[in-house]
Each structure stands twice: as C-alpha cells, then as structure tokens.
C-alpha cells in the first residue's frame, strides 16, 4: 500500500455550543474529552494506527537513530557520589536496564573528596538502596518521585507513579534490617522525612490536581491518623514544603503565578501553628531561607516588593517584618533567581545579559563572588549540596557543545575541580561544533535572542541555506538555556542547525521579558518566534521548506499559534503535549489546574477582554481554511494531567477538516505529561520524532 493511499481517521462532528460574554463557538469535537468512552479510545487507537502506517518507511531510520544514541552513551555508568552524613550516595545504570539504581557506600570521617568509582567495577561496601528496574516490574510506566534518607541513614523513603498521573505512593524501608515497613501513603505529591526520621511530611492534591494540603505521618501509625499541618483553600495557590539546610525549620511555601507567602514551623514542635513571614500581598513574590550570621538567627528573603527583578534582604528571625538589611539591591536587567543558605555563605543564581550566572555571597563582607566560565553560551548552577557546612561546593555546568560536567569549588582556594564529565563515546570533538547568539527584531522593535549550534564541517550558518530545527517555549518565565544533548548530535551530524528562539514569556532577559509575553501581551510570544524564523530565512541560514519548528506543552500552544499565523514559514511543526485548546481549558475551572493558570493567561471566564484576546490566538479556534499548513506531528499521552490528550486530538481533527494535508498524532496510551518512562523507551520516542523531522527536512 502506498503512503498516499493511507487515509486518516475522521472524527465525527457532534457540535456543542459554548457561549461566553455574548460570543458563541460551535465545538464539533468536544466529545473526544470522554476518556473512558470506548469510541474515544478507538479513535485514539485509529490515530496511532494511521501514524504508524504513514511513518512505517522511517522505521529503519528510527532504529539507526536509536543505535546512534546508544553508541554514544556509556550505558553502564554512575554519578559522582554525594556526601551526606556518614555515607556517599550515588546512582548508577546498567547496560540494558531502563531505570537507575540508587546506592551508597560508607564515608571515612573527614573525607570530602568523592571516591573515584569505575563504571561496571564493584564498589567496596556498596549497599543498594533502590533498584528502579525491580520496582518497575509488571508496570508499563514507572516514575520515581520522592527519594529521601533519614538524617541518621537508617531509613529510606521513596514514592512511585505507575500510570503517569503524577499521583505517587510512598513506601518506607528500614535500611538496617532491610525490611519494608507497613507504612504506605497513597496519592501524594512531595514526601520527605522529618530530621529525626520518625515521621514523613507529605502533600496531597485537591480535585483540580492542585497541591493544597500538608500532612504529618508518624511511622507505625495508620494513615487515617495522619495530622493535617496546613491547608491552603485559595484555588490560585499551590502548596510546597521543605526543610532548611540548617535543619531548624520546615518552610511551607504558598504560591500563585504572581503572589507568594511563606510560613515557618519550628521542627522542634510540629504541633505548633506555622508562622507567616510576610503576609501575602497581591503581586508580591518572595522566598525565605534561614541563616546564622555572627551567632544571630536571620532570614534571607528574595523578593520583588518594589523590585521588578528582585532584591535580597536580611531580616531578624524574631521580627521578619522589621528592618530590612539590603544584601543585593535591585538592579534592572539582573534577575535574581534563587538563594540558598549555608553556614558561612549563601549561593546566588541570577540572570544577566540573557545568560544564567552563579555566585557566592559572603555573609560578613557582603561581597558577591561570581563563578566565571569561558564559553560565550553556557548553563551553570549549584546542585547536590545537602550539608550545612562542607569544604566543597558542587556545581553543574554544560553548554551546547560541552557535555554536562560536575564541578566542585574548593572554598578555601576557589579552585575548580572537575569530578566528572558526561562521557560521549565515539569520536565526539567539541571543537567540531560551533555555537553563537544572534538577534532578531520583533514587530515592536524588541531584540529577541536566538541561540545557534551547528557542526562546523557543513559551514557556518548563513554561508548557504541549511536545514534548521527551531525550538521555542515562551511561558511561565521559564528559560531555555544552552545544554548538551547526545540525541541532538544525530541532527547536527546530518547538517542541521539547531536554534532556540528565546521569545518573550520566558525569563531569559529578566522579569520584564516574562511580563511582556503573558496575559494580554501573550501574542508577543508568537510574533517573536515568527520574527526569529524570518530572521533565519532573511540572513540566509535556512529556507522555509527546510525549517522544522518544535515546542512542547505551553510551547505546543506556541506551535499551534504560529502554524495559524505564519504557516508559510515552516516545512514542519512538531508539537509535544500541546496546549492548543487553551481557551476551552482556561474557561473551565473544574478542569485540573485551570484556576491556578488564570494569573498566567488571564481569566476569560470572568473578564470579557481576556476572553476576546485569547480567542484571537488560541490555535483550535483559529484554524484557517485558506492556508497551506506545513506538515504537523502532535505527540500526547492518555494520562497527562497537565495538558489533556483531548486538546491535540481535537486540534488534529479540526486541522484535517480545514484541509490540512499532512497532520498526524501519536498518543501514548500508558504515560503522562513527560511521555514514556525508561531511558531506552525515551530514546526510541525521541528517535521517532527526529526521524519525522529529518523526513520533513529531506534528510531521511
């Protein structure tokens, strides 16, 4: 059977009238929302069968791509051990195994240099804490959520999700006897031990999938006796919690998209009432950590009260609303992101000039020591530092051309020690690849950064038109920073230029960059992306037919919008778990996570201006019958709770009805928002997507 003779499934039209603010919309495919309906499942399976048939010719290429990534990855490997208490903790992988294995080995007193462990070699004194492969047996999907060890090292807590719903079941094991305790807690989010290891603190969600309640479970007691520590009734606010590195306080964090509030609970008395640090005020966000400076308990508060890009202040623990000592003043264009307190200093992560930065703040001198790196584009961050006081500070580092590295700063000397670099097997040479940043001009004059990476042997971008893979996101102030990918090498080595459009709605250029791409400014996200695509065409980097655009989740909304607004600019569009029926979802407060999203997109249910504005861009309502759409592939999952499968299912059906000639959807029937589980499964799924892109780019 020829590919042209394969016919796509046709969804039945069953119009439902939706009316808001005097405006009516006939929705012919809303019936696909009935997840438990056998007709809906049959339609999704028909979509999968169609996609399988249409892409069958790519199976050899998919297998080749899968083998390429396998050939680059050291399948039997292990992480750099992290010192916590009397143990070195690490994870390892084994060739042929889908999931990681969590282990530990005893540490010598006073030894803070991680042991040099050889992949595949026996580790003296190794204790296997959790084998994800054993836990995953019998399940099509497996995701490890919480993983925590009691401070004395005697107990293990872990949680698992086996259907992609992001609802986790907590288990506890005694590491001395090896026995699994009877304590099992269902339907949790976060979970961790109290410092004494006698209790578990965990969160649960409401019917809208919002984490809203914090609980205390004392080991050995029934779950129905668990104590409610805190409940957040406001549907706009998510609840999260954590323990300060000082082990003094439980921090309860409450946050909407634009407002936050934090409370402290002394760990010596978890039955007390939590103490509010700063009462919530609409539009004010802040985060708190505990420090001890010259023997005095202080709170370091990162906030945006009158400081768009945030300011860091220190306040007395005894009077948090009293005098604010400014440690890092607000500086326009320098977006302070995160502060973590240690015994003698705090780590600071921030953005400046569109790039992430990392620094150390000395409590006593007030000096900020920036950790410098040589590459023009990179990502650096602090990670894996559980101890209140240690002679080394661990960091992660990567770039488009530099495989991920684990570094440790020796605090006494400032020297950087490379503890491990991600191995890339074969003949990988970073010097064979180039990276740089260029700038596109948006319709309103804004300068939008574009990051590029390519293989030098094909010539620099712009010397002749090349195939381009253009990626974008542009929501939630989330930044897409330069990171290495072994899978991406399969594109670069075939002559593809990978580009990231750092559009508004993201956080690359500071808080204003985010605010200029949300709510009633959301269209800037789409026009920025289009401007980036046009810039790449006008500067000779590529041509429209040789450019594939990709985005996922909120970036999938971006894909749907630009497909409607500028279909002529792209040869193909890959939309992962795409938020393409945004107006329908945001109008329905009964759907998971809708109310908490109103601060990001606006509230179209109660505000006619927001409704009218969203209706101008939401992809499903704006499909055109006068446009020649590029090839489109939508990827989704049946159990996704963040972007429901129904959104791409409706979108694909409507595109076909409008005359789009080449639209496909692939629905994973046992996965969630993150797609399939297991590293080999994930490689195969990505190989499927890359093979489709290469086919669009005429490189298959």
Residue in the structure block whose two tokens are 């499927």: 688
**β partners of residue 16:** 27
Residues 54 and 161 in one domain: no
Question: Is pLDDT at 2 greater than 80 in this prediction?
Answer: no
Residues 589 and 632 in one domain: yes
Half-sphere exposure for 641 (CA within 13 Å, toward CB): 15
Residues 46 and 142 in one domain: no
Tokens linked to 269: 């008395």
Residues 586 and 690 in one domain: yes
pLDDT bin (cut points 50, 70, 90) of residue 334 is very high
Instruction: Please check whether residue 89 lies inside any domain of the structure.
Output: yes
What pLDDT is attached to residue 4?
A: 62
Residues 59 and 84 in one domain: no
Query: 283, 324 in Cβ contact below 8 A?
Result: no
Separation between Cα atoms, residue 563 and residue 616, nearest integer Å: 14
Tokens linked to 302: 């990162």
pLDDT bin (cut points 50, 70, 90) of residue 520 is very high
**Alpha-carbon dihedral sign for residues 32, 34, 36, 37:** negative
Lowest mean pLDDT among 454-468, 500-514, 573-587, 674-688: 674-688
Question: Is pLDDT at 672 greater than 90 in this prediction?
Answer: no
Separation between Cα atoms, residue 512 and residue 529, nearest integer Å: 17
Residues 130 and 252 in one domain: yes
**Quick one: 589 exposed, middle or buried, by C-beta within 10 A (0-12, 13-18, 19+)?**
middle
Residues 163 and 223 in one domain: yes
The 10s digit of each residue's pLDDT in 590-606 is 887 799 999 999 999 99
What pLDDT is attached to residue 674?
A: 81
Query: 173, 179 in Cβ contact below 8 A?
Result: yes
Instruction: Please check whether residue 545 lies inside any domain of the structure.
Output: yes
Of 273, 301, 323, which residue constitutes the final position of a domain?
A: 323
Sequence-ordered strand ranges (E) for 209-310: 211-218, 227-231, 238-243, 249-255, 260-266, 275-276, 286-293, 296-303
Region 614-640: mean pLDDT is 97
**Helix, strand, or coil (residue 405):** strand
Percent of the chain with pLDDT over 90: 95
Separation between Cα atoms, residue 452 and residue 580, nearest integer Å: 27
Separation between Cα atoms, residue 311 and residue 339, nearest integer Å: 11
The 10s digit of each residue's pLDDT in 40-83 is 999 999 999 999 999 999 999 999 999 999 999 999 999 999 99
Residues 80 and 66 in one domain: no
Half-sphere exposure for 439 (CA within 13 Å, toward CB): 8
CATH of the domain at 444: 3.40.50.1820
Q: Which of 171, 290, 303, 673 is catalytic?
A: 673
Would you put residue 362 in left (φ > 0), alpha (ψ -120 to 50) or beta? beta
**Quick one: 623 exposed, middle or buried, by C-beta within 10 A (0-12, 13-18, 19+)?**
buried
Separation between Cα atoms, residue 604 and residue 191, nearest integer Å: 35
What pLDDT is attached to residue 385?
A: 97
Region 319-329: mean pLDDT is 97
**β partners of residue 441:** 447
Tokens linked to 188: 């949790």
Instruction: Please check whether residue 384 lies inside any domain of the structure.
Output: no
Query: 502, 555 in Cβ contact below 8 A?
Result: no
Tokens linked to 519: 């709510």
Residues 46 and 149 in one domain: no
Region 505-519: mean pLDDT is 97
**β partners of residue 469:** 498, 548
Instruction: Please check whether residue 269 lies inside any domain of the structure.
Output: yes
Instruction: Please check whether residue 542 lies inside any domain of the structure.
Output: yes
Residues 61 and 166 in one domain: no
Backbone angles phi, psi at 203, to 5 degrees: -115, 155
Region 130-149: mean pLDDT is 96
- Known catalytic membership, residue 330: no
Considering only CA atoms, which of 397, 402, 400 is closest in space to residue 418?
A: 397
Question: Is pLDDT at 5 greater than 80 in this prediction?
Answer: no
Strand pairing report for 238-243 and 227-231? unpaired
Helical pair 59-72 and 679-696, crossing angle rounded to 10 deg: 130
What's the domain range around 515?
40-70+427-696
Q: Which of 481, 640, 677, 695 is catalytic?
A: 640
**Helix, strand, or coil (residue 555):** helix
Percent of the chain with pLDDT over 70: 99
Strand pairing report for 155-161 and 143-149? antiparallel
Distances (CA, A) of 469 to 225, 483, 533, 578: 54, 15, 10, 18
pLDDT bin (cut points 50, 70, 90) of residue 418 is very high
Distances (CA, A) of 576 to 50, 57, 177, 551, 614: 18, 22, 45, 6, 21
Distances (CA, A) of 82 to 115, 154, 243, 384: 9, 17, 18, 7
Separation between Cα atoms, residue 261 and residue 255, nearest integer Å: 6
Query: How many domains does the chain fold into?
Result: 2
Instruction: Please check whether residue 453 lies inside any domain of the structure.
Output: yes
Q: Which helix (H) or strand (E) holds 143?
A: strand 143-149
Q: Which of 553, 585, 637, 677 is catalytic?
A: 553
**Cβ atoms within 10 Å of 50's Cβ, excluding its own:** 18
Question: Is pLDDT at 1 greater than 60 in this prediction?
Answer: no
Of 294, 323, 352, which residue constitutes the final position of a domain?
A: 323
- Known catalytic membership, residue 4: no
Sequence-ordered strand ranges (E) for 542-674: 547-552, 572-576, 631-637, 663-668
pLDDT bin (cut points 50, 70, 90) of residue 3 is low
Question: Is pLDDT at 690 greater than 80 in this prediction?
Answer: yes
The 10s digit of each residue's pLDDT in 193-229 is 999 999 999 999 998 889 999 999 999 999 899 999 9
Of 307, 323, 339, which residue constitutes the final position of a domain?
A: 323
Instruction: Please check whether residue 356 lies inside any domain of the structure.
Output: no
Residues 189 and 56 in one domain: no
Query: 299, 289 in Cβ contact below 8 A?
Result: yes
The pTM of the whole model exceeds 0.75: yes
Tokens linked to 660: 């789009």
Region 235-263: mean pLDDT is 96
Query: Mean pLDDT across the chain, nearest whole number?
Result: 96
Residues 56 and 112 in one domain: no
CATH of the domain at 130: 2.130.10.120
Question: Is pLDDT at 111 greater than 70 in this prediction?
Answer: yes
Backbone angles phi, psi at 631, to 5 degrees: -65, 140
What pLDDT is attached to residue 271?
A: 87
Instruction: Please check whether residue 302 lies inside any domain of the structure.
Output: yes
Report CA dihedral (451, 470, 397, 386) to the nearest 10 degrees. 130
Question: Is pLDDT at 568 greater than 80 in this prediction?
Answer: yes
- Known catalytic membership, residue 231: no
């Amino acid at each position: 059977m020829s590919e042209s003779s394969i016919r796509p499934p046709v969804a039945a039209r069953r119009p439902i009238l939706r009316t808001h603010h005097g405006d009516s919309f006939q929705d012919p495919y809303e019936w696909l929302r009935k997840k438990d309906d056998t007709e809906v499942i049959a339609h999704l399976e028909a979509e999968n069968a169609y996609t399988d048939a249409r892409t069958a010719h790519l199976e050899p290429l998919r297998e080749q791509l899968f083998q390429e990534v396998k050939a680059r990855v050291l399948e039997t490997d292990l992480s750099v051990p992290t010192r916590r208490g009397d143990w070195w903790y690490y994870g390892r992988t084994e060739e042929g195994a889908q999931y990681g294995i969590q282990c530990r080995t005893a540490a010598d007193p006073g030894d803070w240099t991680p042991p040099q462990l050889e992949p595949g070699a026996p580790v003296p004194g190794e204790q296997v804490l959790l084998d994800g492969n054993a836990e995953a047996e019998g399940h099509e999907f497996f995701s490890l959520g919480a993983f925590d060890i009691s401070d004395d090292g005697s107990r293990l807590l872990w949680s698992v999700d086996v259907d992609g719903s992001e609802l986790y079941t907590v288990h506890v094991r005694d590491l001395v006897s090896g026995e699994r305790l009877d304590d099992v807690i269902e339907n949790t989010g976060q979970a961790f031990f109290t410092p004494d290891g006698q209790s578990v603190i965990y969160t649960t969600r409401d019917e809208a999938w919002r984490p809203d309640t914090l609980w205390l479970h004392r080991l050995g007691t029934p779950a129905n006796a668990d104590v409610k520590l805190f409940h957040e009734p406001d549907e706009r606010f998510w609840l999260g919690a954590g323990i300060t590195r000082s082990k003094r306080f439980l921090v309860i964090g409450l946050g909407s998209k634009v407002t936050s509030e934090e409370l402290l609970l002394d760990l010596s008395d978890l039955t007390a009432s939590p103490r509010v640090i700063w009462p919530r005020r609409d539009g004010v966000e802040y985060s708190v950590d505990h420090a001890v400076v010259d023997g005095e308990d202080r709170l370091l508060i990162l906030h945006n009260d009158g400081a768009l890009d945030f300011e860091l202040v220190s306040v007395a623990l005894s009077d948090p609303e009293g005098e604010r000592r400014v440690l890092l003043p607000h500086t326009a264009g320098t977006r302070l992101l995160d502060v973590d307190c240690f015994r003698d200093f705090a780590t600071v992560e921030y953005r400046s000039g569109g790039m992430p930065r990392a620094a150390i703040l000395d409590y006593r001198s007030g000096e900020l020591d920036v950790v410098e790196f040589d590459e023009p584009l990179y990502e650096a961050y602090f990670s894996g530092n559980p101890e209140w006081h240690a002679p080394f500070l661990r960091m992660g580092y990567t770039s488009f051309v530099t495989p991920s590295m684990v570094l440790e700063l020796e605090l006494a000397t400032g020297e950087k020690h490379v503890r491990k670099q991600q191995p890339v097997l074969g003949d990988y040479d970073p010097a064979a690849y180039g990276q740089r940043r260029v700038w596109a001009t948006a319709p309103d004059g804004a300068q939008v950064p574009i990051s590029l990476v390519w293989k030098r042997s094909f010539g620099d971008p712009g010397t002749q038109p090349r195939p381009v893979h253009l990626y974008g996101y542009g929501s939630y102030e989330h930044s897409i920073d330069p990171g290495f990918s072994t899978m991406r090498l399969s594109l670069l080595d075939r002559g593809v230029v990978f580009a990231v459009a750092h559009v508004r709605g993201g956080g690359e250029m500071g808080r204003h960059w985010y605010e200029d791409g949300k709510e009633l400014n959301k269209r800037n996200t789409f026009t920025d992306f289009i401007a980036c695509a046009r810039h790449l065409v006008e500067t000779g980097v590529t041509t429209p037919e040789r450019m594939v655009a990709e985005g996922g989740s909120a970036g999938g909304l971006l894909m749907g919008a630009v497909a409607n607004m500028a279909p002529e600019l792209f040869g193909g569009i890959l939309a992962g778990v795409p938020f393409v029926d945004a107006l329908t979802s945001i109008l329905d407060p009964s759907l998971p996570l809708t109310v908490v999203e109103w601060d990001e997109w606006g509230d179209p249910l109660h505000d006619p201006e927001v409704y009218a504005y969203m209706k101008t861009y939401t992809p499903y309502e704006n499909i055109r019958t006068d446009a020649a759409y590029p090839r489109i592939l939508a990827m989704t999952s049946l159990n996704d709770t963040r972007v429901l499968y129904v959104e791409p299912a409706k979108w694909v059906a409507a595109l076909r009805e409008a005359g789009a000639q080449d639209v496909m959807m692939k629905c994973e029937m046992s996965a969630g928002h993150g797609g399939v589980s297991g590293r080999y499964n994930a490689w195969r799924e990505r190989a499927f997507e890359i093979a489709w892109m290469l086919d669009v780019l005429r490189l298959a």
